Amino acid sequence: MTARETAIRVLYEVEKNKAYSNIALKKVLGCSNLSTADNAFATELVYGAVRHKMRLDFIISHYSTQKLKNLSPWILCILYIGVYQILFLDKIPHFAAINESVTLAKRYGHAASARFVNAVLRVVAKGGEVKIPSIEHYYSHPKWLVDMLREQYPDDYKKHLAANNTPAPITIRVNTLKITADRLCDMLIEKGIHAQADGDIITISKFGNIVELDEYKKGLFIPQDKGAYLATLAVAPQPNQLILDVCAAPGAKTTQLAQLSNDMAEIVAFDIHPHKIELIQKNAQRMGINSITAIEFDATTTNNNYIAKADRVLADVPGSGLGIIRRKPDIKWLRIPTDIELIIKTQKLILQTSAQYVKQGGYLVYSTCTVNKHENGDIIDDFLSRHPFCKLEERQLLPHVDQCDGFYYCKMRRE
């Protein structure tokens, strides 16, 4: 199975069964024997097609003699990767994109399908881009999301939309309990991996699967974005303190709390899912961390064992994910406004519940991986109007400004 065929099988799962592309990609790649380069190419095709779906739909509709809704899902997926290669991947010759797509159309359709795909791709290659009439089609975002960003970030929302379509870099956090950032960079560079440190965060070049690196297996690093890293820094944990991480999986922020306190605090990590508790434990063990206790617990309910006892509480609540679209482009198509209304109710409940654990003078840090102000500042303003906390620090990180995920955090002290 080629990289292109792998990509259309993944896209079929995404289009037909509403699967998340990262999950479908992992499943299909796991059954293939692709080289590292073909693996990367298939991944590029999948994410590129998902990122630019609305734009590709518009272009295909413009050049096609058939309505998209009348096309076989297989043929539509073949057209997605074909048009994406022609218009977005300069290194791929047009003839290669067209010929391979026609071959796939014969396999997943019939002779007429192949002729149709050939005709559409050839006219796209000849005609190129077409004038895109709307912002949502040009930047490939649903109208409700464009409207939200325009309302909340009127001065630079287009830059924000463009940033969402830019692949996120691979970033890792150094396990400073075992190694320095400079030394880990040197080790990675010796393996031919470009690595550049910014504090404890290292940006690395594209690599097949970083969890296969010996340095990962030895617990020298963990994948983490700079936004999550900065939010966790705000917790400022100290040795001998009781620290709660109430929505902890997969454990990147939890292990960072352990590092910041030199593995000498008492850190309790909550998560509602048993398999995620296991993941937190495995990460802590791999990194040689002993100060973390992971407990299966629902953060929306009160744990009476910790009322007014914690020095620090981190509530990294589940959110809409609108800050990580560049990593998970499916969010644009699977998320709907009514989802966010329900999410906000859960966020408020977790924040109010978490506040009960903070002792007088202790810190509460609320964070999300979203740029939606209704999930961030609005929730904090409402919370502070009814609880004895004062705001110490607040920050909204944006992909096009801060070169990291869209992340929000607010640090508060209990009075």
268 alpha carbon, distance to own chain's centre: 25
- State how far the Cα of 12 lies from the Cα of 42, in Å rounded to an integer: 13
CA distance 382 to 412: 13
Cα Rg for the chain, rounded, in angstroms? 23
Of the listed 369, 390, 404, 410, which one is catalytic?
369
Question: In this structure, what token pair is assigned to residue 207?
Answer: 């690599």
Question: Hunting for tokens 């400022």 — which residue is that?
Answer: 236
How many other β-carbons are positioned within 10 Å of the β-carbon of residue 380? 19
Per the structure block, which two tokens stand in for 260? Answer: 């910041």
Active-site annotation holds for 410: no
**Distant-in-sequence, close-in-space partners of 148: CB < 8 Å, separation ≥ 6:** 372
Q: Which residues are catalytic?
A: 369
